[in-house]
Structure 1
Amino acid sequence: MEKLAEYLGGKLETFQPLTRECSIYRVPERKRCLHPRDYTPKMVSIGPFHYGKPELKAMEEQKERYLKCFLQRTKARLASFLEFVKQREAEVRNCYAETIHNLASDEFVTMVLVDAVFLIELFLRYYNRNLRTDEDPILGKSCLFWEIRQDFLLLENQLPLFILNDLFNLAKTAASSHCFYEEISFTTVTCYWFRDDIVGYFPMKENLLEIHISEAKHFLHLLMLCLHPSQMPDQVKLKNDDQNIPSVKELHEAGVKFKSGSSKNLIDIKFSDGILEIPFFTVYYYDTERMHGCPSYFNDYIIMMSCLVNTPKDAEFLIQNKIIGLGFSEILPSVFRSLDRDCSWDIPFKYSGVVADLQAYCQLPRHKWKANLKQNYFNTPWASISVIAAVILLLLTVTQTICSFIGS
């Protein structure tokens, strides 16, 4: 037992405590088993978690090409960049929630430099078209370009932003042509890259990327910071914690009107005076990405939208009301349902006030009667004319009957 205790004790001594810098995690196996492809990079590995996988090695050669081009624009030698990363190795390793046993120091430093420069060079080429070459397989082929963009927002496929920023500044300081880097920074090129990738799909106030990038730990964290609502709807205690959120169809039949919200935040769903406001967003087939570890407000948003968009008809109705942009209405309900599997109804629910108001509105009979008249009898000009004509005919008939009765 003494030898066993000595062995186990020595092993425990080698463990390093998790630090405040820890921000990049593995997705729990329970979730990975359900949707393994959603958590795994398809084209390029960034960082240590998926490093060396055979199916991702095709991009390693392109990373080295980018590194060569990157070094040609700076007076700093390759050895200087490696030494720079080496000095920050411990800090970079501390950003990961598990010890990277499979990579010795030299291999880890090399991996970090190659991956970091790959990202920087790609962002530079996207920002400045003059840097692109004819043989570039990424920016020259749209399909590959879009696949790679998705890989950059996977939790397990991240590098800490501080090392990217520091390497960019080192290259800029030692640049052989200072005019190239004039008035640009890592923030400039990164925000330019993600502006289309994030702002193109989600409503977002201007300059949020620039505001939050200094506090972001990695790219996915940057997205979450940008989606964070400035304020949430008022919360109330739902009766028996009622989780019955009406669908779009049910709300429509109850007379609820839908409007594309003017808010510049995706999460800002409001209900007032019979109008449900949902900020505009666009959904494509690759938006099934799970964002493990997402904040509670995003968890509640997914639950809310999953209940609202229960069928393709619900999705089509929101598209018609310009709440959802060009996308695939047939798959939208399944997209939200698949996202919903990773979410849990927590108390307090962020949209409890909105849900309570919707439930109360739907329970009033007069709203349903009014909606039924409008949807079934006054839904088109011709239908309205027909109803009015029928009412007039009925009144004339009744009047004639009364007159005949009086005359007799």
Structure 2
Amino acid sequence: MDTRKHEHEGYGVSIDMEKLADSLSGELESLHPLARECSIYRVPEATRCSHPSHFTPRMVSIGPFHHGKEELKAMEEHKKRYLKCFLQRTKVRIASFVGFIKAREAELRNCYAETIHLGSDEFIKMVLVDAVFLIELFLKYYQPNLRTNEDPILGKLFLYNDVTHEILLLENQLPLFILNGLFNLAKTETFEANLYEEISFMTITCFWFRDDIVGYLPIQENLLEINFSKAKHFVDLLILCLQPSQSRAVFALKDLNIPSVMELHQAGVKFKRGSSKDLLDIKFNEGILEIPFLTVYDPTERLYRNVLAFEMMHSYTKYLNDYIIMMNYLVSTSKDAELLLQNEIIGLGNTEAVPTVFRNLDKGCAISYSYFQYSGVVADLQAYCKLPWHKWKATLKQNYFNTPWASISVIAAVILLLLTSIQTVCSLIAL
């Protein structure tokens, strides 16, 4: 008797089911392994659906996630023009660049959090074209003498601005190690001996970040160089630069009832532009709330969303997440923003935009009562507002001593009251 057939019949398993099981087993064996070095993610649909334009490139694709999309093909010709310029300056043959990428193909693919369904040749070509496009863009930005009047990107400000913002989309990333490696390979033999003298890929990248990006997401300038070697890609570089130099004392909060700027003002809190260039360094001490300077532009929300998404997906401590939550509570209305504008803490005349941006960003944040980064600041603010003396003092100052004339009027009224009281007492004594 066929034992295998008997077993099949005993468990209700047919030959067709065996074929299906073998097919499924084959699929399981071919699954893309989840590599530890994975750092480039596709944004979850739940995050993307509310603001798809904030995560999806409209002008240029960098890397495999959006490669080949019809609406992005117009930029491919410009990329190849940049590749041609790049190759004209180095004696290194294009085959050497291809071989350099080929040797690192497996490592490159493992940087992405999903299987890349591109053949080896197409993948290598894509990496070379996209990587050199970024290198050449930064190089031309760093050395204006390398530009021509016909430059397809830097010669058109509106196009350059769009490309700049899309370079920092989470789904538009290439690993920094391949960009750095290709740049160093090109330097080994050039047609002009001093062309790349004392220039590294870090040099031109940090120059671009300082000149074009730091205005949107303020960070201390020297942190770009300090964190460059540790960063996996451009978005990771931003996250690393936002990490606080000193850890905060964090404890569980009973509630997250953070007073707004106007409520704090009415309770007597003063506001000061923070001395630190660390955007997230909000401090409260002796009745003074220090908030580092920030400016909100049109691209701000898009940039913050991509950095937030990476912070969440790469399991970083939620520093930016908690900053957004904190700022959303503090700046809940245009009046809150107006007060910060008066104290030179924000640099934008349109005070309606600030609360809107933080309100929109807050919807993608997750609150942790047990590990909120500003728990100490919040507890101190809540305690300060509960003391009635602070509110009485603030009311007196804001309502009766807010101008020199008001102060003179109050003093005169007090003197008049005192004189009247003295006169009354004297009259009683005379009786």
Q: TM-score range by the shorter chain?
A: over 0.9
1:136-188 CA-to-partner distances (Å, cap 9, x unmatched) read: 13222322222221111111110000110111011111212121111101111
Report how many residues are paired.
Answer: 405
Aligned residue number for residue 332 of structure 1: 354
Tell me if 1:260 matches 2:278. no
**1:323 aligns to what SS in structure 2?**
coil
Q: How does 1:119-134 map to 2 (within 5 A)?
A: 119-134=134-149
Supply the AA of the counterpart residue of 1:17: P
**1:24 aligns to what SS in structure 2?**
coil
Aligned residue number for residue 141 of structure 1: 156
Equivalents in 2 of 1:232, 1:301: separation in Å? 14
Equivalents in 1 of 2:327, 2:237: separation in Å? 23
Aligned residue number for residue 419 of structure 2: 396
**1:169 aligns to what SS in structure 2?**
helix
Aligned residue number for residue 249 of structure 2: 234
1:254-288 CA-to-partner distances (Å, cap 9, x unmatched) read: 00111111123111111110011111122112111
Equivalents in 1 of 2:420, 2:327: separation in Å? 50
TM-superposed CA distance for 1:211, in Å, is 1.0
Whether the aligned pair in 1 keeps the contact of 2:217 and 2:300 (CA below 8 Å) is: no
Q: How does 1:36-115 map to 2 (within 5 A)?
A: 36-101=52-117, 103-115=118-130
Aligned residue number for residue 182 of structure 1: 197
Structure 2 CA distance for partners of 1:327 and 1:226, relative to 1, 3 Å: farther
Equivalents in 2 of 1:401, 1:142: separation in Å? 78
Equivalents in 2 of 1:83, 1:393: separation in Å? 92
Supply the AA of the counterpart residue of 2:248: P
Whether the aligned pair in 1 keeps the contact of 2:216 and 2:295 (CA below 8 Å) is: yes
**1:282 aligns to what SS in structure 2?**
coil
Whether the aligned pair in 2 keeps the contact of 1:284 and 1:328 (CA below 8 Å) is: no
Q: How does 1:192-207 map to 2 (within 5 A)?
A: 192-207=207-222
**2:352 aligns to what SS in structure 1?**
coil
- The alignment's TM-score, normalised by the length of structure 1, stands at 0.96
Tell me if 1:2 matches 2:25. no
**1:271 aligns to what SS in structure 2?**
strand
TM-superposed CA distance for 1:327, in Å, is 5.6
Equivalents in 1 of 2:219, 2:359: separation in Å? 24
Supply the AA of the counterpart residue of 1:326: L
TM-superposed CA distance for 1:207, in Å, is 1.8
Whether the aligned pair in 1 keeps the contact of 2:322 and 2:367 (CA below 8 Å) is: yes
Equivalents in 1 of 2:138, 2:180: separation in Å? 12
Whether the aligned pair in 2 keeps the contact of 1:304 and 1:351 (CA below 8 Å) is: yes
Tell me if 1:280 matches 2:293. yes
**1:258 aligns to what SS in structure 2?**
strand
Aligned residue number for residue 34 of structure 1: 50
Equivalents in 2 of 1:335, 1:76: separation in Å? 47
**2:332 aligns to what SS in structure 1?**
coil
**1:156 aligns to what SS in structure 2?**
helix
Aligned residue number for residue 165 of structure 2: 150
Equivalents in 2 of 1:327, 1:166: separation in Å? 44
Give unpaired runs (5+ residues) of structure 1.
none
**2:244 aligns to what SS in structure 1?**
coil
Equivalents in 2 of 1:342, 1:257: separation in Å? 30
1:212-231 CA-to-partner distances (Å, cap 9, x unmatched) read: 11110000000000110012
Supply the AA of the counterpart residue of 2:45: E
Aligned residue number for residue 405 of structure 2: 382
TM-superposed CA distance for 1:319, in Å, is 1.5
Aligned residue number for residue 354 of structure 1: 377
- The alignment's TM-score, normalised by the length of structure 2, stands at 0.91
**1:25 aligns to what SS in structure 2?**
coil
Supply the AA of the counterpart residue of 2:67: Y
TM-superposed CA distance for 1:386, in Å, is 1.7
Supply the AA of the counterpart residue of 1:231: Q
Most deviating of 390-399 and 11-20:
390-399
TM-superposed CA distance for 1:382, in Å, is 1.6
Equivalents in 2 of 1:201, 1:392: separation in Å? 54
Whether the aligned pair in 1 keeps the contact of 2:228 and 2:237 (CA below 8 Å) is: yes
Equivalents in 2 of 1:402, 1:5: separation in Å? 106
Give unpaired runs (5+ residues) of structure 2.
1-16
Equivalents in 1 of 2:350, 2:183: separation in Å? 39
Most deviating of 263-272 and 354-363:
263-272
1:84-141 CA-to-partner distances (Å, cap 9, x unmatched) read: 212221111110000011x221111111111000000000000001001101132223
Supply the AA of the counterpart residue of 1:256: V
**1:125 aligns to what SS in structure 2?**
helix
What's the C-alpha RMSD, in Å, of the aligned pairs? 1.5
1:314-365 CA-to-partner distances (Å, cap 9, x unmatched) read: 1111121111123632111111111111111112111111100100000000
Whether the aligned pair in 1 keeps the contact of 2:210 and 2:221 (CA below 8 Å) is: no
Equivalents in 2 of 1:233, 1:403: separation in Å? 62
Aligned residue number for residue 17 of structure 1: 33
Supply the AA of the counterpart residue of 2:415: I
**2:171 aligns to what SS in structure 1?**
coil
Aligned residue number for residue 317 of structure 1: 339
TM-superposed CA distance for 1:243, in Å, is 1.1
